[in-house]
Amino acid sequence: MWKIIVLCTIVGLAAAQKATFKNYKVFRIIPTTEAQVEILREFQEVSDGFSFWEAPSYVNKQADLMVAPHKLPEFYDAMAQVNIPYQICIDDVQELIEETTSLSRSRTFDFTSYHTLDVIYKRLDELAAEHPNKVQVVVGGKTYEGRQIKGVKVSFKANNPGIFVEGGIHAREWISPATVMFILEQLLTSKDADVRALAESHDWYIFPSFNPDGYVYTHTKNRLWRKTRKPYSVLCYGSDPNRNWDYRWRTGGASSNPCDETYAGSAPFSDIETKSLSEYIKSISDKFYAYISFHSYSQLLMFPYGHTREHLENHDELLAIGSKSIAALKKRYGTEYVTGNIAETIYIATGSTVDYVKGVLRKPISYTYELRDRGRYGFLLPPDQIIPTGEETMDSLVALFKEAKARGYPKNI
Ligand code: 0X9
Ligand code: ZN
């Protein structure tokens, strides 16, 4: 009998444990032919031990692949067989996880470490208490595990045109909520004249975490979790909430397999997060003209659409605005971005928030940032890069909205 009890205790402990990535490696692979791109796509079909951090897309575009230690021999063999150039980016993922999260346990909010959902939410409450006439806490939606999707509305003057800011839809992209919080603080406290003008001439709807269950899970169980946490099959949890929105749903670059990282869900808005958020966003749709979503990583500034490489609606203007914005971003620390249509710049993907906001709600200014870096650290960006990332992103937003204004926005598309 005691043996069974001991065994059960051990099993129980194992269940409570965190995923570890000891000796997992991340490789950067650059396919030089269409055939090589196809071979890389084959790795996507193998769920055991291979996981793309950046999916393969086109010839000469990098793909970043994480490989588990037991799959390394197979990986090296395959690369040698097909002669694809690659290099190693991260030698031991677990070591880097430990380095970049060691400081993130503090209970008070700052920009020198990454914080838990509770600490971020507490900071939103504090900011509302500190600026009672300007900041109001709003609940934009709810999660499968019963959490609130909390944000703030910031307003310096009634009836300003609005800007919606979304962070953290992908759980592991920790620099996204951190940058959104940085922007929020700048809007409230910066003394820079350009930032003040931008802040005070708009109403802001700011949500640092669109995927709270996933974010909590990255802190407690698996640092590299991307999706939501709703069970879709016995073994596989979560849809990709940036594939679950009801605009050209699952028409490309999205999976119908619940075990995949880009699983689109069982139907448009099959996740309570996207469903409830879409209802909230619709309810304030006449109050904003611009929507900005923050992801990581790759250093890209993209605009709709994700389903086609065609240049639709105000493509040329968005490209011109994007170019000014990334030029301003580069000035402070030399960080280089690329701008362009989503499908051309990264890959075909459908069911994202920015496509929905443009395609269904017809908002003319809709951008996705892929923040730092280009792959040295990827999702595990060291916390000492939070402030510089925030600063350069703020610079780019100032330039973006200056150029939009010069071009007559807000206006309809
Ligand atoms: O695949 C995504 O959702 C984004 N890249 S990430 O590495 N952060 O996952 C790109 C989103 C691009 N936007 C659209 N597809 N609309
Ligand atoms: Zn993302």
User: DSSP for 200-222?
Assistant: HTSEEEEES-S-HHHHHHHHHT-
pLDDT at site 1: 46
Residue 96 domain flag: no
Query: Which residue's C-alpha comes closest to atom 2 of ligand 1?
Result: 242
Shared domain for 86 and 234, answered yes or no, is no
Shared domain for 67 and 109, answered yes or no, is no
Shared domain for 177 and 291, answered yes or no, is yes
Our answer on whether the CB atom of 63 is closer than 6 Å to any ligand 1 atom is: no
- The pairing of strands 288-296 and 162-167 is parallel
CATH of the domain at 213: 3.40.630.10
Question: 103 falls in which pLDDT band (50, 70, 90)?
Answer: low
DSSP character for 340?
Answer: E
Where does a domain end: 59, 91, 123? 91
Residue 13 domain flag: no
- Known active-site residue 370: yes
Question: 181 falls in which pLDDT band (50, 70, 90)?
Answer: very high
Our answer on whether the CB atom of 178 is closer than 6 Å to any ligand 1 atom is: no
46: nearest Cα among 261, 264, 350, 347:
261
Residue 186 domain flag: yes
DSSP character for 124?
Answer: H
pLDDT: which is higher, 14 or 51: 51
Where does a domain end: 37, 61, 91? 91
pLDDT at site 15: 55
pLDDT at 6 over 80: no
Once rounded to an integer, what is the mean pLDDT over residues 52-69?
Answer: 95
The pTM assigned to this predicted structure is: 0.95
In the chain, % of residues over pLDDT 90: 90
Question: 62 falls in which pLDDT band (50, 70, 90)?
Answer: very high
Shared domain for 149 and 232, answered yes or no, is yes
Residue 10 domain flag: no
Residue 413 domain flag: no
Question: 311 falls in which pLDDT band (50, 70, 90)?
Answer: very high
Catalytic hit among 370, 391, 392, 403: 370
Shared domain for 352 and 251, answered yes or no, is yes
Once rounded to an integer, what is the mean pLDDT over residues 154-179?
Answer: 98
Query: Facing residues of 301 across strands?
Result: 339, 369
Helix (H) or strand (E) holding 195: helix 193-200
Structure tokens given for 176: 């996204």
pLDDT at 161 over 50: yes
pLDDT at 79 over 60: yes
Full domain range(s) for residue 71: 18-91
pLDDT at 105 over 90: no
For ligand 1, pick from 370, 371, 379 the residue to mutate: most ligand atoms within 8 Å of CB: 370
Question: 4 falls in which pLDDT band (50, 70, 90)?
Answer: very low
Shared domain for 79 and 141, answered yes or no, is no
Question: 10 falls in which pLDDT band (50, 70, 90)?
Answer: very low
pLDDT at 378 over 80: yes
Our answer on whether the CB atom of 65 is closer than 6 Å to any ligand 1 atom is: no
